[in-house]
Amino acid sequence: EPEVTQTPSHQVTQMGQEVILRCVPISNHLYFYWYRQILGQKVEFLVSFYNNEISEKSEIFDDQFSVERPDGSNFTLKIRSTKLEDSAMYFCASMRSGGEKLFFGSGTQLSVL
Amino acid sequence: QKEVEQDPGPLSVPEGAIVSLNCTYSNSAFQYFMWYRQYSRKGPELLMYTYSSGNKEDGRFTAQVDKSSKYISLFIRDSQPSDSATYLCAMIGEDSGNTGKLIFGQGTTLQVKP
């Protein structure tokens, strides 16, 4: 069964460093998303991406965050200057078309020290 | 009032029991309702997907949506130890169907004891 793949599974970084989280969405999907989950808290929407542009972003997704689809298969989330409070599990998700089911990857655990 | 409320539990039941998990919500614009299962340190896995009000059954799982009460439920019949996980409700409005901005509940932790 096709799945959303995320790498790395764990990422440790120093505060102020840039990190790039990588995702390979399901191949025939057109809509791509990043969510995050701080330990013990709800899964929160960060950003949606369609047709090579951001469709919607949350208040969390400030200027330190950016997304990119550099080629036909990868989807990345960049955090320019990480803060302690960015420590969380980051989930990539994809959807084939609007109003359909959203499928999540296994996540990247980001730890900012 | 929180947009989506879900009792975090934990909920502990014996193997074979019927489990009832619930969420309430405040936004009447929500049209799509989902239940995800999440194992520890893993991504949410879609279990059930329902549009608008009504019931949907898939094997041991039944999802119910009552839009008039703004209340959704997931029933698990003949629960198994492998069902032990956190169950997340999630929902989205029709106008957000393309943006994929799901609103999640807190999640209910379920433990099924052998």
Average pLDDT of the segment spanning B45-62: 92
Residues of B in contact with A50 (CB under 8 A): 98
Average pLDDT of the segment spanning B21-47: 92
| Proportion of chain A above pLDDT 90, given as a percent | 80
Q: Residue B97's pLDDT is what?
A: 59
**B99 touches A: beta carbon within 8 Å:** yes
**B1 touches A: beta carbon within 8 Å:** no
Which single residue is written with the structure tokens 């619930």?
B22
B1, pLDDT greater than 70? no
Q: Residue B98's pLDDT is what?
A: 61
Residue A19 distance to chain B (closest CA, Å)? 20
A102/B102 Cβ within 8 A: yes
Alpha-carbon span B21 to B111, nearest angstrom: 12
A14 token code pair: 């120093």
- The CB density around residue A24, as the number of other CB atoms within 10 Å, is 16
Q: Residue A99's pLDDT is what?
A: 65
User: What digits encode the pLDDT tens for the residues A6-24?
Assistant: 999 999 999 999 999 999 9
Q: Where are the beta strands (DSSP E) in B39-84?
A: 45-51, 54-58, 61-66, 71-76
Q: Residue B40's pLDDT is what?
A: 85
Q: Which residues of chain A have pLDDT under 70?
A: 98-99
Alpha-carbon span A63 to A78, nearest angstrom: 10
| Proportion of chain B above pLDDT 70, given as a percent | 93
A106/B98 Cβ within 8 A: no
Q: Residue B8's pLDDT is what?
A: 83
Residues of B in contact with A98 (CB under 8 A): 97-98
**A25 touches B: beta carbon within 8 Å:** no
Element spanning A36, H or E: strand A31-37
